[in-house]
Amino acid sequence: MSDPIEFFFEFVSPYAYVAAHQINAVGDKHGREVIWRPLSLGHVWKMIGATNVGPGGLQQKSKYIMMDSARSAKLTGLPMAKPAVFPVDAKLARLTYYRLAEKDPAVARKFALGVFDKFWAHSEEITDVAHLADLMKSLDVDPAELDAALGDDAAKAAMIASTQAAVDCGAFGMPWFRVGDQVFWGADRVAHIDQYLAQQG
């Protein structure tokens, strides 16, 4: 059986936003399942002992990432807007994703793309139940699922498992991908994944 593409991502990563709009097409092209695994990059850094490595730790890095990610989005035809608040903790979105994925992975992916678009394309907030209620309604999902996700032990366990899996395969940035024993870092590596899978036949 062919290895799936595991897509580890952080909602507040602009490069993950770009990759999220590309990776499923690569999976479809090569007949590979794409497993979406949202997590907190901050928790990954804590687990691997990295400190002061985020955009907030270096002003020059933060400025560059915003400029470069906007170029990356434009090259792929995606809108990019400066977030209303940055950085933020997307815990609610992560837990809701896993709660939805337990019932319907396709709906969960649509939710994740909606969160990305709200934050990166429309400069809208995503941290509170009120911020995501309209998105849930657009997916024909009861917004009450947002509150339920915050207390969903299975969703929390899935998020912890994804974080550990990312650490186990060497992740230190987002987006991060694993295909079998191969790992890839960054939205620009989606093209590399495409080439790698083509070579695998």
Q: Cα separation of 64 and 111, whole Å?
A: 28
Q: Is the domain 5-200 a CATH 1.20.59.10 member?
A: no
Of 55-59, 117-121, 158-162, the range with the lowest mean pLDDT is 55-59
Residue 118 pLDDT exceeds 60: yes
Confidence of residue 57 (pLDDT cuts 50, 70, 90): low
Q: Tokens 């989606």 sit at which residue? A: 190
Of 26-30, 71-75, 142-146, the range with the lowest mean pLDDT is 71-75
Dihedral (Cα; 137, 130, 111, 89), 10-degree rounding:
180
Which tokens hold the place of 175?
């987006």
Distance in angstroms between the alpha carbons of the first and the last residue of the chain: 13
Residue 98 pLDDT exceeds 90: yes
pLDDT tens digits for 169-192?
Answer: 999 999 999 999 999 999 999 999
CB 18 within 8 Å of CB 75:
no
**Sequence-distant (≥ 6) Cβ neighbours of residue 77 within 8 angstroms:** none
Residue 56 pLDDT exceeds 90: no
pLDDT at 64: 87
> In whole numbers, what is the pLDDT of the chain averaged over residues?
94
Confidence of residue 61 (pLDDT cuts 50, 70, 90): confident
Q: Count the Cβ atoms, other than its own, within 10 Å of residue 48.
A: 13
Q: Cα separation of 109 and 113, whole Å?
A: 6
Which tokens hold the place of 23?
């990776």
pLDDT at 54: 59
